Structure formats: C-alpha cells, structure tokens
Amino acid sequence: MSRPFDWLQLAVYVVLVALLTKPMGLYLCQVLEAKGKTWLDPILKPLERLTYWLMGVDSEKEQDWKLYTFAMLLFSLVSCLLTYAILRLQKHLPLNPQGFDSLTPDLSFNTAVSFTTNTNWQSYSGENTMSYLSQMLALVIHNFTSAAVGIALAAALVRGLARHSAKTLGNFWVDLVRVTYYLLVPVCVVFAVVLISQGMIQNFKPYTKAKLTEAYTIQVPKTDDKGQPVTTNVAVMAQAPKLDQKGQPVLTNGVAMMVDVPKLDEKGQPVMTNMPVMVDQKVEEQTIPQGPMASQVAIKMLGTNGGGYTNANAAYPFENPTPLSNFLQILSIFAIGSGLTYYLGRQTKNQAHGWSVWSAMMVLFLAGVFICWWAEARGNPIHQQLGVMAAGGNMEGKEVRFGILNSALFATITTDASCGAVNSMHDSFTALGGFVPLFNIQLGEIIIGGVGAGLYGMLVFVVLAVFIAGLMVGRTPEYLGKKIQSYDVKMSMLALLVLALSILGFAAWASVSKWGTDQLSNAGPHGLSEILYAYSSANGNNGSAFAGLNANTPWLNTTIGVAMLIGRFLMIVPIMGLAGSLAGKKISPPSAGTFPVSGFTFVILLLGTVLLVGALNFLPALTLGPVIEHFLTNQGKLY
C-alpha cells in the first residue's frame, strides 16, 4: 500500500492547528471576560442573564481562589450525583427503546466519576448498555460541563498570572456559563451537522434490523420457558500425565504427554459441575444501532472528553464514517487547547511566551507522532514471518479507511490531549507504538492537553522550569515578573507527585492482586502494560484504554473511579492554591537577571523539565512493559 499523501496530511494538520490558534485565542479572550463581546450576544445574552437570575448569581462579583474552587467542587458533586441517579434508575426512565437494564452501583459510580472528571473511561459498551436518555443527558451534560470547568480553571490560573496584588480570580459560575453558551454549544451545533453530512447517525429511532445476505449459525446457551439457562451436569476434567500399560508416563521428546481425566474429590468421586447446554441458532439479521450520536460526538471531541457512544468509539463506522470526519475530529481535539496558549500570551501581555509554550507542546507532539507512526508502519515481525505483507504495517485493531498514519496520529493526539477517544485499538499496537500513547498520558497530558487541563498542567511545568533555571543561576526565580517562592513550588510539586504516586501505586497494587490480573486478556509484559495504561488513563483523566483489560468488575471500577477523582481534584486544588498565591504577588520589572520565558532556551528548558520528570517517574515501570516487549517481539517470543 503506497501512501503518497501521508506527509501532506500531517503537514496540513500542523498548519491548520497553528492557524486556528490565534482566532480561537482571541475568541477565548472575549468568552472568558465577564463583559466580553461576541457576535452571538444578540441571541445568547438574554439567555445568559436569565441563567444568572435563576442561579442567583451576581455576575459582577468575583471570587477568591478558595471560593472559586469550592464552587467548582460543589458543581462537580451535584452534577455527578445527577448522573449516578440516572444510571441507577435507567430501567424506569424514558427514551430507552431497547429496554436496557439499570447499571450496577460500581459501574454507575465509575461512569459518573469518569464523565464528571472529563476522563470518560468506559467500563461498559455504549451500544448495549446505555439508553438514549443516559447517553444524551447523564453523559452529555458532563461532556459540556467538565470541558467548561477545565477551561474555567485554566482561565483562573492565567488570571492569577496576569493580575498583581489581587485577591480574586474571576467568578466560577460566570466562566462555566459563558464557556458553555458562547463557545461549546455553538461550535458543536455546526460540527455535529458536518459530522452527519459524513454519515454519522442522529435520531431517536429504535435499532434497525437488516436482513443478512448470508445467514450463519452460532451456538447460544439454551434457555427454558422462563428464560433461565438450561444446564447439564458434567464431570470436571483435569490434566494428568498419560501412562502406558506398565504405569510409566509416556514421554515425547522427554516431556510427559498429558491427557484429560475426570477430576476426583477427596472421596474418589468425580467432581461434577453445571455446564450450560448450547444450541444452534440461525442468525439472519444484523441489528444496527441508532440514536443521538452526532450531537454527543461533537462535544466528545471538542471538549476532549472522548467517551464513545459505542464500545469501539471513533473506530465504529457510524462514529467516524470517513477520513474527512476523522481529520475534523482530531483537529477539534486540539482546537481549544491550542487557542488557550494564545489566550495565555494575550492575558499576560507576553505573546512570545504563549507561542513558546505552544512550540514546546508541538515538538513533543511531533516526536510522539513520528515514533508511533514508524512503529506501526514497520508492523509486527512475528506476523510478517507468518506470511503477512510487510508493506501493510500493523493493521490489527485498525480500520482500512484510516490506515496506519491516521491511526497513529489519532492515538498520539488523543493522549497528548486528555481526550481518550480512539479510532484504533491501542492494545493491539506494536510495543513501541503503544508506548507513545502511554507515555503521553504519563507526562500529564500537557501536549496541548485536555481543554484547560492541558494548559494548567503545562504551567506547573513552566513554574518548575523557571525554578530550576533560578537554581542554576543562583537567583530568586521569577515568572512573568513574579517571585516564585517555596509555597508556589510546593503546590506545583504536589500536583505532579500526586499523579505519579496514584498511577504507580494503583498499578503496582493491581498487578500483584488477583482482582487485577484475572481481568487481563494478554499475558507477559503486555499484561502489565494493560494495567499500567488503565491507571495512567484514569489518573490522567484520559479515558482511552488497552481495552483487553476487562474493567467492569467491582474492584476495578472502584479503584479506577478513585484514581480518576485523585487525578482530577487532587491536582486542581494545589493548582488553584498556586493561582491564588500568584494573583496576590507584586510584579517587579524585568532586570538583567530575569530568566526570559520565551525563545529557544526557554523551550529547551521546558522540554527538559517535562521529559525529566516523566522519565524519572515512569521509565522503570515502562521498561517492564512496552520496552521489554519490543525486544521480545523482535525475538519472536509469544505469550
């Protein structure tokens, strides 16, 4: 398969992201200003005023960092409870044409937390679990609001940088409402309609039955009149060495031959068990899912949520019908996050700083794409030995319409940002191809990043980089004219360490526990990668998965749910503390000893800080997972 246009696609993508950054940034400046003006004011201003009136919010009154954070936490709690309630009561609620049952408590907890924290980890398959109401209300509300919350927090941190001798950071309710009304909803209306034009579904019809051209037969458990499975009592078999007539084990090449024999209990009686009786069933129809998908997918991508309408997410042909829809989806993942770097520059009156942060992000982005793309295009030598054409690359878990580049590109982008949508199955990537998304998440998703979360995550690294630079030249570190003091560094370190501790702690616990290892679908180092990926994804609020891990168990649902809460809120609180501290500081004019936060040196220093922290925290674990697996693949070792 020749792919003459691969380089062109990548170039067009990078250029478009760059071109979008300024207009998006300027628009964000208006949206994130309580008195900002947009061209949507004539339609939306009355709605905005009505909303504040119903909420009892004075839009002119700003909040200090504690109240701002408290309001955010309270809102997250209330909206999370709403989702939990809907999922638990799904069976009794309307818009459920397929009659799906209510969700279990642990799955409801996991899912409600997952969507509240902008993670969108999914232990369920959407198309056979969620009613239209659950999708459209319980989940979509968080797709909007968790994105708006992220952007609001980033804005609060930027205000903390831009203001001086100030007590307040803005009003959380105003930011939440304005971001949703003026940015997310309008863009999504247009985006969703464009997605429908590509073939994405949007309706409220029950699932469609299509007549198959070739019927086929499957084996299904037999059920009685009451719908209960029919079982039969059979002997449990166990493996034992085969013996010859003299009672000696039969050897082949020195290894004992094994045969199945009935397992006996202590009394010498055969152990019996109930096995379901299987019967043939002729399949003559294909059931095709329907539902309000486009409206959900538009915000899932733009808000870097990533929670799929269906299990296969953006690999499902309805959820990503064409290469064009794919291109627009990856563009939308980066659109807001990229614009926020411009917003940073504009607000702090140092546009070069904004672009320098953006450049550092894009360097890391391109590095990831190249490694992942190369690894996937190279393919799997084990499979090529078996007769698979090398030119095709590694197509396991990938769709033909996207091919290698667009699968690798999507995987890199979705983990650079905290999106977590997937258009190919990361679990089936080559070892190094799968290393890239995993490491991206572990770096903290600061490469453009989740909407808002990416910027505030990256700014923590900026504070650290400035601090390290200050140590190296022996001066008090300054960032944008503000002295970085011990409190600020402590808060920054807290945000980073909580993440590493939680990822590695949970992953270590699960990988030595039966409740963790029992749910793996791959053995060897790949099994560790599955667990490591799960907790990285949860803590990083990404939501993508090495999906072979069967996560829908009470243990995994609960631990992953807790990891998501830690990854979101235990990171936000110190960052808001940092924002509050920075806002109160005076700005001193730049002097000869001030470290410039723009230009080549700064970008290199920032990159160094990011990679060093990421590498120190996670390389030991990664070595036992994807790195060793790469060498084992080359040797042809199978598990």
Partner 1 sequence: MKEFLSQLRGAIMSTVILAVVCCGIYPLVVDGLGHALFAEKADGSLIVDSKGVIRGSKLIGQNFTGARYFHPRPSAAGNGYDATSSGGSNLGPTSKKLADGIAQNVADYRSQNGLSTNTPVPADAVTASGSGLDPHISLQNAEMQAPRVAKERRLKEEEVRAFIVKYTDPPGLGFLGDAGVNVLRLNLALDGVN
Q: Of 508-527, which residues contact partner 1 (CB under 8 A)?
A: 521-526
- Asked if 94 touches partner 1 (CB under 8 A), the answer is no
Instruction: Give the burial class of 141: count Cβ atoms within 10 A of its Cβ; 0-12 exposed, 13-18 middle, 19 or more buried.
Output: middle
Report in angstroms how near the CB of residue 472 gets to partner 1 at its nearest: 42
Of the candidates 607, 349, 578, 337, the one whose C-alpha atom is nearest the C-alpha of residue 480 is: 349
- Cβ contacts of 457 within 8 Å, gap of 6 or more: 444, 445, 446, 449, 495, 571
Assess 125 for contact with partner 1 (CB under 8 A): yes
Q: Which stretch binds partner 1 (CB under 8 A): 228-236, 471-479, 541-549, 554-562?
A: 541-549
Part of the chain binding partner 1 (CB under 8 A), chosen from 169-177, 270-278, 586-594, 610-618: 169-177
**Contact map string, positions 245 to 284, toward partner 1, x by CB under 8 A:** --------------------------------------x-
Sequence-distant (≥ 6) Cβ neighbours of residue 248 within 8 angstroms? none
- In whole angstroms, the minimum distance from the beta carbon of 138 to partner 1 comes to 9
Instruction: Name residue 101's amino acid.
Output: D
Query: Applying CB under 8 A, which of residues 193, 235, 371, 627 lies at the interface with partner 1?
Result: 193
**Residue (438 or 499) nearer to partner 1, CB:** 438
Nearest to 540 by CA among 626, 419, 412, 361: 419
Q: Is position 99 an interface residue for partner 1 (rule: CB under 8 A)?
A: no
The interface region with partner 1, picked from 108-116, 322-330, 511-519, 562-570 by CB under 8 A, is 322-330
- Per DSSP, the residues of 151-216 read HHHHHHHHHHHH-SS--B---HHHHHHHIIIIIIHHHHHHHHHHHHHTT-----PPPEEEEEEEEE
Q: Is the dihedral of CA 84, 145, 34, 153 positive or negative?
A: positive
Tell me, rounded to whole angstroms, the distance of Cα 311 from its chain centroid.
Answer: 14
Beta-bridge partners for 256:
251
In whole angstroms, the minimum distance from the beta carbon of 42 to partner 1 comes to 17
Options 31-39, 184-192, 231-239, 555-563: segment touching partner 1 (CB under 8 A): 184-192
Size of the site for partner 1 (CB under 8 A): 137
**Residue 93 touches partner 1, criterion: CB under 8 A:** no
Q: Is 32 in the site for partner 1 (CB under 8 A)?
A: no
Task: Figure out which of the listed residues 15, 34, 43, 74 binds partner 1, where binding follows CB under 8 A.
Answer: 74
**Cβ-based nearer residue to partner 1, 422 or 466:** 422
Phi, psi of 400 (to 5 degrees): -60, -40
- Among 564, 126, 188, residue whose Cα is nearest residue 315: 126
Q: Scanning residues 443 to 502, which ones bind partner 1 (CB under 8 A)?
A: none
Question: Of residues 30, 38, 104, 287, which one binds partner 1 by CB under 8 A?
Answer: 287
User: What gap in Å lies between CA 563 and CA 499, rounded to an integer?
Assistant: 9
DSSP state of 139: I
Q: Is 140 in the site for partner 1 (CB under 8 A)?
A: yes
CB of 299 to partner 1, least distance (A): 8
296 counts as binding partner 1 under rule CB under 8 A: yes
Q: Minimum CB separation from partner 1 for residue 327, in Å?
A: 5
Tokens representing 66 are: 């504690």
Q: Is 3 one of the binding residues for partner 1 (CB under 8 A)? A: yes
Give the nearest distance from C-beta 408 to partner 1 in angstroms. Answer: 12
Return the residue of 24, 340, 425, 466 that touches partner 1, per CB under 8 A.
Answer: 425
Residues 197-216 that bind partner 1 (CB under 8 A): 197-205, 207-214, 216
- Nearer to partner 1 among residue 315 and residue 459 (C-beta): 315
Q: Could you tell me which stretch among 174-182, 235-243, 244-252, 604-612 binds partner 1 (CB under 8 A)?
A: 174-182
* Contact between residue 394 and residue 380 where contact means Cβ atoms under 8 Å apart: yes
C-alpha closest to that of 70 among 156, 191, 166, 181: 156
Q: Nearest Cα to 295, choosing from 195, 367, 216?
A: 195
In angstroms, the CA 335 to CA 320 distance is: 18
Measure the CA–CA gap between 264 and 79, rounded to whole angstroms.
Answer: 55
Residue 182 binds partner 1, judged by CB under 8 A:
no
Compute the C-alpha angle 93/110/206, nearest 5°.
Answer: 35
Contacting residue, 130, 188, 571, 583, with partner 1 by CB under 8 A: 188
Which range, of 159-167, 416-424, 453-461, 503-511, touches partner 1 by CB under 8 A? 416-424
Label residue 8 exposed, middle or buried (CB < 10 Å: 0-12, 13-18, 19+): exposed
3-state secondary structure of 260: strand
Interface with partner 1 (CB under 8 A), residue from 15, 34, 43, 78: 78
In the complex with partner 1, the residue whose CB is nearer, 308 or 477, is 308
- DSSP annotation of 137 reads I
By CB under 8 A, the residues from 333 to 392 that bind partner 1 are 379-380, 382-383, 386-392
Q: Cβ closer to partner 1: 28 or 44?
A: 44
Near partner 1 by CB under 8 A: residue from 30, 96, 311, 594 = 311
Nearer to partner 1, 294 or 605 (CB): 294
How many whole angstroms from its chain centre is CA 585? Answer: 35
Q: Does 71 bind partner 1 (CB under 8 A)?
A: yes
The H or E element that residue 218 is part of is strand 208-221
Q: Is 95 a residue that touches partner 1 (CB under 8 A)?
A: no
Choose between 128 and 476: whose C-beta lies nearer to partner 1.
128
Closest-CA residue to 452 (of 72, 125, 139, 113): 72
Q: Position of tokens 């920075």?
A: 582
Stretch that binds partner 1, among 162-170, 179-187, 268-276, 511-519 (CB under 8 A): 179-187
